[in-house]
Each structure stands twice: as structure tokens, then as C-alpha cells.
């Protein structure tokens, strides 16, 4: 297929606005899947996505579509993730696109991620095809939403398409518009082969599979490719396209999106954002793409060092399927040899850890998540030793003594919030509590307000999104992106159990919030740690100063003792809970701490 008849695009939308449903309808219409498959796929996808609240694995599809001119066009639909944690990651998928379908729910209207994704597309100079979805719903307000699109993005109302992805109405018009308004890829087929790796995942039998976008030339079976990042050479095993099922092809040409397998073994070899080319050729980097930067870091350690190798291999496989996670070796006096992982947000981290447990049977120790702080040292000896005077630190346990630090910096985000006006007061109060500074506030229409806030990243990673949702009965939406560093004042908060510091719970916090967080943490720990045979003193300290303390009294009797002769099922349940509890306990001297405590204690 000639380049002029290729279109590369993705669908961007706020979560639940119908992106997956529209993608399925497009696949059905073009015969890539049958109606039944469509239903299955929708169900399967939804189940996984609903359970975890995010698109776990991007689905990309190459579609052949016969346009009015009776010519067959190749449409490459490139998927983007749909959760607030991942809004920065949308850029990665857009690197292979020339345009986007901006899909907006005609009932709920423009939401925070609609705005954020629109701006990402505009930054890349992509053509935007505006589409309203769910027009079958009785209380849909397409006219109002079209007005919002005009007001916020200067979109011409005449260009807005209206569809029902659920009922399959208006889908053809969308594809026709994609062909008419999105330009073909700007690529040269006569030049040396060059491609961008923009996604990768792990296959048990074939190793890493790389999704590539070809910028120049052709790739054929039997050729050898080289990685620009590692300079390693690989013979191609398979070349295929996703329709969305994998179909082998003999070759791929510039403008196309395809999948290659070439015996790359792990995440160090298969690098998203890397350029590949034919062995020993010299080409320029395909690098109009910078990889996603993780924002939240946590240490991960095997429960005992005999599990080290198994955990490493489980993590490696997980990372191949989730390349946004970064990995560094880490070690700790208390926890031994382990790793420091970087995530896009707390949800991303929770999903990763949950899958590690479920799919790989790993039960690692995970430390309190932290953002990356930047410190400027004032101790000449340390500066000399480090060879620099600034340090980026995401591991609270590695924070130098305050006397060695001249300045502290913390990462900020630019947040976008869209809310019905009646919740504005409470939302502003929440943002102030989280040290947010308002940048702008505009009325989208009579009922809704769009606000932007600069917020410290550390204040939003844990529970900001949940709080916002519950304050607004689910109506407010939020999206954020990186906004650099600013000068701040930090302290290290340590938690001691019976005088012994618990490294997993050590945190860096803003100085003005230390006492509040200290009280909250000890209070929560008192609830989360079960009573035991010994009395437990919980203390939160900054340096040698104790900011808060609580005590958990020791048991006097066996839990079930007073139930003897009583309700048998109740007793069984208690015993079962105890047994289950035992599996996932972390020991501190003689104190048992349930595994999930380490994450739960951080949620407000």
C-alpha cells in the first residue's frame, strides 16, 4: 500500500468516554473481527480494565478499509492508556501518529483528561478529529458539548461528528473523516531502513516483542537489525502486523506499524524510544520521542535473600510488559539486596505489585513510595566525594543529615481540574491543603469550571484523585503533567516500633506537615498492626525528636479462647484469618506487621 493511502491515528478520550467500544466497532466494521469476537473482546477488555481501572496493555490494530474512491486504505489505530496516572504516557503512542480522534462523551462533556490529551496532540501538531459519543443516551447534550469544544479548543462546530459506539451509529463517517482530514505519514521509502520502537512486551516463547513505527525504507524477513541504544545486532525472527490478531508478513515499509520478534531477552535490550536500523548502517535517531519519566519510586526487596533470583526474574518479565516501570539496583542495611522501581503514579505501582503477586507468586517487601527530591549539599567533603553538589534522591533512607544540606527542591505538577460549580469551594480547600497554587479558573459554561493548579507531586500521588472524586460525588476530573522543581523545606520522618526504625515506613515530608503526618501515621499504624504478645510502642520522629506516639497493648488471652463452646463458624473464621495473616507478615524483632500495612498507612 502506497504511503498516500496510510493513516496513523489514535483515539484520545477521558476514561469511560467509550474509546474501547469505538475501537471494537471500527474493527467490526472493517471485518478485522466478527461481531461475536467484538462482544467477547469488549467483555474481556472491560473486565480486566474495570478490575484495575486502567488499560493494562495497549491494543494496536492495522485495519484495511475500502474508502469511497474504491481504494483500500491502511489505517493503523494506535492505542493510548486511559487513566490519570498515565496521561504523560499518551505521548509515546502519539509518536507514531499524524492525527487523533478526540472522543467526548455527549452526556458528561469535556473532562480533565480530554483537555490534557488535546494539548498533547496539539503540541505534536497532530490533526484533531472531534467526535461526540453516546448520542443514543436520552439526556445526552450534544449541542452543549459542541459549544464547550468551540469555547475551549476553537473547534468549528460544523466539523464535530456524532456517534453511538454502543449501537454502531456513525462509525463509517468517522473512518471517512480520518482519511480525509488526517495526512498520510511524512516518511521516505527510498532511504535506509529506520524505525522507532514505541511499545514492547514479553512473550514466554519468543522473548521481547517490539512494536515499531517505520520512518524510512523497508524491513524484510531474514534481515539483521541493530539497536542504536545498545549497538547489539539481532537476526529477525518474525515480522507481523496486528489486525488485531498477529498476522505474519514478509516485509514492512515506511509509514507502517508492525511487530517484530528478534530474540531480545529483557528490558535492557528492548528499549522503548530506541531506534533500530539494518546492521552496520548509519542513520539518524528516530528520536522525536523521549521516554516517559517515572514520577513515583519505591524499594522492592525479597522477604529473604533466597528469593532474590526468583524475584528478579519476575520483575524483569513484568517490566517487559510495562515498560514505563524503571529499575535500579538498591540495597539497604535492614532489607538486604533489592531494587528501586519507578512508576507513573500510585495506581500504577499498586497494579504492578498486585500482578507480581498474582501472576508470579512473589510476595516482596515494598517500601513507602516517594517522589524524587533534589538537594544541594553544603558539606565540602561530601561534595568532593560525590563530584557534584546536587543529588537526586528518591529513597528516604538515603537522605543525608540535615546539617549537610543547603537547599531542598521538590517536583511540581501542573494539574487540570474540571468540576461542576457546586463543588468548587471544597475542591479549592483540598488544593490549598495540598499546598496547591491556583493558576487559572474559567467557566466553561454556566455549570462547569476548569481550574489549573501547580501542586507538589508528593501531595497528589497518594490519594488526591480519590479525594477529589469523593468530594464531588465522582463528577470532578483531574489530570496532571510534569512542571519542574521548586525550592522547599523538607524533613525525614522515621517510624520506630519499640525503638527500632522501620525502614519501609521512613518518609520525606514537607516541614510544615511533619507533625500532622506523624500523628496520622502512628494513629493508622495502631489500627493496622494487630495486637500481639508484646506491647508495641509506635513513635514518629524527626531526628531525635518524637512528634507522635501510640501504644498497642499486649494480649492477655488467646483470641479464640472466649469463643470456645460458642459459634464454631465464627471461630473457624478467626483461625483462618490468623493463618492467612501469618503468610504475609513482616517481622520486626518480635513484632509482626501485615504486609499491606506499608501502603495502607500512607493513604489518608
Residues 6+ apart with CB under 8 A from 232: 226, 269
At 31 the three-state DSSP class reads: coil
**Out of Mg ion, ligand GDP, none, which partner does residue 1 contact, by CB within 5 to 8 A per kind?**
none
Q: Is 232 annotated as a binding residue?
A: no
**Binder to ligand GDP among 10, 87, 91, 133 (CB under 6 A)?**
133
Which of 13, 319, 74 is CA-nearest to residue 214? 74
Which of 555, 504, 552, 545 is CA-nearest to residue 525? 552
**Binder to Mg ion among 8, 10, 20, 164 (CB under 5 A)?**
20
**Binder to ligand GDP among 119, 124, 144, 166 (CB under 6 A)?**
166
Q: Which three cell numbers stand for residue 550?
A: 501510640
Plot region of 161 (φ>0 → left; ψ -120 to 50 → alpha; else → beta): beta
**Binder to ligand GDP among 20, 111, 367, 472 (CB under 6 A)?**
20
Q: How far is the CB of 17 from ligand GDP (least distance, A)?
A: 5
Nearer to ligand GDP, 115 or 252 (CB): 115
For residue 103, the Cα-to-chain-centroid distance in whole angstroms is 21
- Which is it for strands 127-133 and 72-78: parallel, antiparallel or unpaired? unpaired
**Out of ligand GDP, Mg ion, none, which partner does residue 134 contact, by CB within 5 to 8 A per kind?**
ligand GDP
Q: How far is the CB of 242 from ligand GDP (least distance, A)?
A: 18
Asked if 16 touches ligand GDP (CB under 6 A), the answer is: yes
Q: Hey, how many other C-beta atoms are within 10 angstroms of the C-beta on 136?
A: 13
The span of 129-137, 145-153, 511-519, 594-602 binding ligand GDP (CB under 6 A) equals: 129-137
The span of 12-20, 157-165, 351-359, 476-484 binding Mg ion (CB under 5 A) equals: 12-20
**Binder to ligand GDP among 15, 127, 376, 563 (CB under 6 A)?**
15
- Which is it for strands 257-261 and 507-510: parallel, antiparallel or unpaired? unpaired
SS (H, E, C) 127-148: EEEEEEECCCCCCCCHHHHHHH
Which of 322, 330, 409 is CA-nearest to residue 371? 409
Q: Is 83 annotated as a binding residue?
A: yes
Nearer to Mg ion, 18 or 185 (CB): 18
Q: Find where cell 497528589 sits.
A: 460
Nearer to Mg ion, 20 or 216 (CB): 20
Q: Find where cell 565540602 sits.
A: 380
Q: Is 330 annotated as a binding residue?
A: no
Which of 190, 209, 254, 173 is CA-nearest to residue 6? 254
What residues from 299 to 328 belong to the interface with ligand GDP (CB under 6 A)? none
Q: Is 217 annotated as a binding residue?
A: no
Return d(Cα 326, Cα 319) in angstroms, integer: 8
Q: Which three cell numbers stand for residue 350?
A: 499498586
**Binder to ligand GDP among 13, 318, 325, 368 (CB under 6 A)?**
13
Return d(Cα 99, Cα 124) in angstroms, integer: 9
**Out of ligand GDP, Mg ion, none, which partner does residue 338 contact, by CB within 5 to 8 A per kind?**
none
Q: How far is the CB of 13 from ligand GDP (least distance, A)?
A: 5
Binding site for ligand GDP (CB under 6 A): 13, 15-21, 46, 82, 133-134, 136-137, 164-166
**Could you tell me which residues are annotated as the binding site for GTP?**
13-20, 79-83, 133-136
**Could you tell me which residues are annotated as the binding site?**
13-20, 79-83, 133-136
Binding site for Mg ion (CB under 5 A): 19-20
Amino acid at each position: 500500500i502506497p504511503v498516500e493511502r496510510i493513516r496513523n491515528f489514535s483515539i484520545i478520550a477521558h476514561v469511560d468516554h467509550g474509546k474501547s467500544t469505538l475501537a471494537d466497532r471500527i474493527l467490526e466494521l472493517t471485518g478485522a473481527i466478527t461481531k461475536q469476537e467484538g462482544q467477547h473482546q469488549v467483555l474481556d477488555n472491560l473486565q480486566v480494565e474495570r478490575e484495575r481501572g486502567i488499560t493494562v496493555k495497549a491494543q494496536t490494530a492495522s485495519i484495511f478499509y475500502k474508502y469511497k474512491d474504491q481504494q483500500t486504505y491502511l489505517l493503523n489505530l494506535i492505542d493510548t492508556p486511559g487513566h490519570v496516572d498515565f496521561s504523560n504516557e499518551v505521548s509515546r503512542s502519539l509518536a507514531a501518529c499524524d492525527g487523533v480522534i478526540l472522543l467526548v462523551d455527549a452526556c458528561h462533556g469535556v473532562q480533565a483528561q480530554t483537555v490534557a490529551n488535546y494539548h498533547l496532540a496539539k503540541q505534536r501538531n497532530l490533526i484533531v478529529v472531534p467526535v461526540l459519543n453516546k448520542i443514543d443516551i436520552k439526556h445526552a447534550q450534544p449541542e452543549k458539548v459542541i459549544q464547550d469544544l468551540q469555547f475551549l479548543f476553537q473547534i468549528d462546530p460544523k466539523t464535530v461528528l456524532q456517534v453511538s459506539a454502543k449501537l454502531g451509529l456513525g462509525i463509517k463517517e468517522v473512518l471517512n473523516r480520518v482519511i480525509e482530514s488526517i495526512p498520510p505519514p511524512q516518511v521516505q521509502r527510498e532511504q535506509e531502513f529506520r524505525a522507532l520502537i514505541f511499545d514492547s512486551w514479553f512473550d514466554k516463547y519468543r522473548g521481547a516483542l517490539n512494536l515499531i513505527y517505520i520512518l524510512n525504507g523497508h524491513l524484510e524477513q531474514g534481515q539483521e537489525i541493530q539497536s542504536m541504544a545498545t549497538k547489539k545486532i539481532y537476526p529477525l525472527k518474525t515480522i507481523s502486523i496486528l489486525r488485531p490478531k498477529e498476522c505474519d508478513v514478509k516485509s514492512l515499509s515506511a509509514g507502517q506499524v508492525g511487530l517484530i520478534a528478534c530474540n531480545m531477552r529483557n528490558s535492557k535490550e528492548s528499549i522503548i524510544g530506541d531506534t533500530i536500523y539494518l546492521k552496520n548502517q548509519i542513520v539518524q535517531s528516530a528520536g522525536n520521542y523521549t521516554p516517559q519519566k517515572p514520577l513515583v519510586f519505591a524499594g522492592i526487596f525479597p522477604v529473604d535473600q533466597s528469593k532474590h533470583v526468583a524475584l528478579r526474574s519476575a520483575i524483569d518479565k513484568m517490566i517487559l510488559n510495562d515498560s514505563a516501570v524503571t529499575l535500579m539496583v538498591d540495597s539497604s542495611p535492614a532489607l538486604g539486596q533489592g531494587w528501586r522501581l519507578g512508576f507513573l503514579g500510585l495506581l500504577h505501582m499498586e497494579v504492578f505489585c498486585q500482578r507480581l503477586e498474582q501472576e508470579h507468586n512473589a510476595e516482596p517487601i515494598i517500601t513507602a513510595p516517594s517522589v524524587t527530591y533534589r538537594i544541594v549539599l553544603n558539606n565540602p567533603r561530601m561534595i568532593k566525594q560525590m563530584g557534584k553538589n546536587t543529588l537526586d534522591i528518591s529513597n528516604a533512607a538515603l537522605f543525608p543529615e540535615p546539617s549537610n544540606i543547603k537547599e531542598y527542591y521538590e517536583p511540581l505538577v501542573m494539574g487540570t481540574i474540571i468540576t461542576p460549580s457546586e463543588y468548587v469551594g471544597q475542591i479549592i480547600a483540598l488544593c490549598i491543603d495540598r499546598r496547591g497554587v491556583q493558576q487559572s479558573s474559567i467557566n466553561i459554561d454556566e455549570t462547569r469550571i476548569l481550574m489549573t493548579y501547580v501542586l507538589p507531586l508528593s501531595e497528589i500521588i497518594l490519594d488526591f484523585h480519590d479525594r477529589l472524586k469523593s468530594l464531588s460525588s465522582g463528577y470532578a476530573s483531574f489530570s496532571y503533567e510534569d512542571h519542574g522543581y521548586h525550592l522547599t523545606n523538607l524533613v525525614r520522618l522515621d517510624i520506630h516500633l519499640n525503638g527500632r526504625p522501620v525502614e519501609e515506613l521512613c518518609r520525606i515530608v514537607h516541614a510544615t506537615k511533619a507533625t500532622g503526618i506523624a500523628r496520622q501515621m502512628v494513629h493508622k499504624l495502631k489500627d493496622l498492626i494487630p495486637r500481639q504478645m508484646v506491647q508495641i510502642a509506635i513513635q514518629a520522629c524527626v531526628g531525635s525528636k518524637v512528634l507522635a506516639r501510640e501504644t498497642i497493648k499486649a494480649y492477655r488471652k488467646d483470641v479464640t479462647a472466649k469463643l470456645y463452646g460458642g459459634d464454631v463458624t465464627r471461630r473457624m473464621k478467626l483461625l483462618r484469618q490468623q493463618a492467612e495473616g501469618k503468610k504475609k507478615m513482616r517481622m520486626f524483632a518480635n513484632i509482626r506487621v501485615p504486609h499491606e500495612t506499608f501502603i495502607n498507612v500512607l493513604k489518608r
